[in-house]
Amino acid sequence: MNSDYDVIIIGGGASGLMCASKLNKIDPSIRVLILEKNSKPGRKLLATGNGRCNFTNLKIFSSYYNTDDTKKLSKILYSYDAKKIIDYFDKDLGVVPAYKDDLVYPITYQSKTVVDALCSSLSASKFIYDTEVTSVVKKDMKYVVNGIYSAFYVVIACGGVSLPQSGSDGSLYPVLRSFSGPDSFERLVPSLVSLRSPDKDIKKLSGIRQECEVHMDSRSEKGEILFTDNGVSGICVMQLSGMYNRAVSSGKKIGSLYIDLIPSMNEKQKLDKVRSLIRSFPNRSKADAISGLIKKPLAECIVARSDNTAEDIARLIGRFEIRICGSNGFENAQVTSGGLKLHNVTDGLELKSCHGLFVCGEVLNVDGICGGFNLHWAWASAMTVADAIADEFEEV
Ligand SMILES: Cc1cc2nc3c(=O)[nH]c(=O)nc-3n(C[C@H](O)[C@H](O)[C@H](O)COP(=O)(O)OP(=O)(O)OC[C@H]3O[C@@H](n4cnc5c(N)ncnc54)[C@H](O)[C@@H]3O)c2cc1C
């Protein structure tokens, strides 16, 4: 078996597949090898968007991401904006886009369509599955991977550590650190994850969804909250989870989040409504009386927490406290916040300290909010790497 290639890509997930696809498109004579520890490509990609793959967003801005180098991130997002990514999927891969507001999906609403289309574009690449990379060594001008495969260029596309059962479990991080240095990583914390609460009374609310506005520290998010067996979830909570985990891991105390359960009403309107409902139905319990305003289990929880006055009930509807004691960890997170700092790589995402070693996707210290931003980063960073490597071939 041939063990000598031009480029070795470690990881056959979103960014690894896209990097190979773009390299193949630019120059099919570049010999690309993809090494993947799973027996199939794109395992996490298949799980995205509940199997529907929200692959980008029409409003890609660097302000929707967390990173250590916004300038470098902006440059990459400017070069590979939503239009360029949608065009690549549509015209080069044959994946027809569908739009839900700003969110972009394949029109089949199946992530398998995206994985299949990427794989079909890789006729000039070789795939080796069931191969976990455990060593990368630089020998003279080349890199030797697992003591067998060699290439002038290596792309690390091994993902973050979220949903480790998908294959991205950080197993390659020590290898990457051996090239990038001990302080090159931003601390890893789970992001886009549900939060845990010690509050016993909210257990009864498990399964309830409520449109609301959630406030945590100085940030707030509007959207649907979902009460769970051990706390709260829903997109608005997940959007705040990265900020929560980063703050807590750096020693800051954030004890609670506060929910406005009816953000469409101001304080006075809430109080007037609660008062009038209690007055209109004097023979009902207070929770029953307001259950046309607030779902019954929530109404019961609020009344039980209140001093039984209309004023306190209305106040709690506008500021329902949920104490938070952590998140549900990397096992349940959609993305990893932290990773190799952008500061340590060039604009082409090559390690500054190591010529020929490139990095793309979630392993870098870039994480976005829900809505297609994280896959967009996987594609944009992968294309940036492919361009940079192709430029090197042109120079030779
Ligand atoms: C449940 C869920 C839903 C999501 N939904 C969306 C969504 O709708 N929209 C969105 O934008 N983002 C979504 N994301 C985030 C998105 O999936 C990731 O940001 C994206 O997959 C990251 O791409 P990547 O290539 O960096 O890593 P991955 O896709 O994780 O790929 C990394 C690959 O490297 C392989 N690998 C790791 N270590 C080694 C090794 N040592 N040797 C060989 N191979 C290795 C892994 O097996 C894996 O196949 C979701 C994530 C989850 C968990």
Q: Is 12 in the pocket of ligand 1 (CB under 6 A)?
A: yes
Q: Is 191 in the pocket of ligand 1 (CB under 6 A)?
A: no
The answer on 109 and 10 residing in a single domain is: yes
pLDDT at 2: 73
Q: Bridge-partner residues for 195, per DSSP?
A: 232, 327
Q: CA-CA distance, 122 to 128, in Å (whole number)?
A: 13
**Domains: count for the chain:** 2
The answer on 168 and 31 residing in a single domain is: yes
The answer on 346 and 243 residing in a single domain is: no
Mutation to probe ligand 1, out of 67, 366, 374, 377 (largest number of atoms < 8 A from CB) = 374
The answer on 233 and 321 residing in a single domain is: yes
Q: Residue 379 Cα, ligand 1 centroid: separation in angstroms?
A: 11
Map tokens 């010999």 to a residue: 31
Residue 128 burial (CB count, 10 A): 15
Residue 52: give its domain's CATH number: 3.50.50.60
Q: Is 13 in the pocket of ligand 1 (CB under 6 A)?
A: yes
- Nearest atom in ligand 1 to the alpha carbon of residue 378 is 23
The answer on 209 and 171 residing in a single domain is: no
The string of DSSP letters for 132-178 reads ----EEEETTEEEETTTEEEEEEEE----SSSGGGS-SSTTHHHHHH
The answer on 144 and 78 residing in a single domain is: yes
Give me the tens of pLDDT residue by residue for the chain, a chain 396 residues long: 679 999 999 999 999 999 999 999 999 999 999 999 999 999 999 999 999 999 999 999 999 999 999 999 999 999 999 999 999 999 999 999 999 999 999 999 999 999 999 999 998 899 999 999 999 999 989 999 999 999 999 999 999 999 999 999 999 999 999 999 999 999 999 999 999 999 999 999 999 999 999 999 999 999 999 999 999 999 999 999 999 999 999 999 999 999 999 999 999 999 999 999 999 999 999 999 999 999 999 999 999 999 999 999 999 999 999 999 999 999 999 999 999 999 999 999 999 999 999 999 999 999 999 999 999 999 999 999 999 999 998 876
> Last residue of some domain: 273, 301, 327?
327
Q: Bridge-partner residues for 149, per DSSP?
A: 145
> Last residue of some domain: 306, 327, 348?
327
* Tokens, residue 24: 């193949």
Question: 153-208 pLDDT, tens per residue?
Answer: 999 999 999 999 999 999 999 999 999 999 999 999 999 999 999 999 999 999 99
Q: Is 162 in the pocket of ligand 1 (CB under 6 A)?
A: yes
Q: What is the residue-averaged pLDDT of the chain? A: 97
Q: Is 54 in the pocket of ligand 1 (CB under 6 A)?
A: yes
Q: Is 168 in the pocket of ligand 1 (CB under 6 A)?
A: yes
Mutation to probe ligand 1, out of 8, 44, 119 (largest number of atoms < 8 A from CB) = 44
Q: Is 44 in the pocket of ligand 1 (CB under 6 A)?
A: yes
Each as own residue / partner, the long-range contacts of residues 320-323 (CB below 8 Å, 24 or more positions apart, any chain) are 320/258, 320/259, 320/260, 320/261, 321/256, 321/257, 321/258, 321/259, 322/197, 322/199, 322/202, 322/231, 322/232, 322/256, 322/257, 322/258, 322/259, 323/197, 323/198, 323/199, 323/255, 323/256
The answer on 43 and 169 residing in a single domain is: yes
Provide the Cα torsion 170, 174, 179, 180; round to 10°.
60
Q: CA-CA distance, 110 to 35, in Å (whole number)?
A: 25
The answer on 259 and 119 residing in a single domain is: no
Question: 259-307 pLDDT, tens per residue?
Answer: 999 999 999 999 999 999 999 999 999 999 999 999 999 999 999 999 9
393 near 27, Cβ under 8 Å?
yes
Domain region containing 156: 4-189+336-395
The answer on 199 and 184 residing in a single domain is: no
The answer on 249 and 101 residing in a single domain is: no
55 near 24, Cβ under 8 Å?
no
The answer on 151 and 57 residing in a single domain is: yes
Mutation to probe ligand 1, out of 17, 48, 165 (largest number of atoms < 8 A from CB) = 48
Q: Give Dmax (Cα) for the chain.
A: 87
Pair type for strands 32-35 and 125-128? parallel
The answer on 217 and 134 residing in a single domain is: no
**Cβ neighbours for 8, distance < 8 A, ≥ 6 positions apart:** 32, 33, 34, 35, 143, 145, 149, 150, 151, 153, 154, 155
Q: Residue 61 Cα, ligand 1 centroid: separation in angstroms?
A: 21
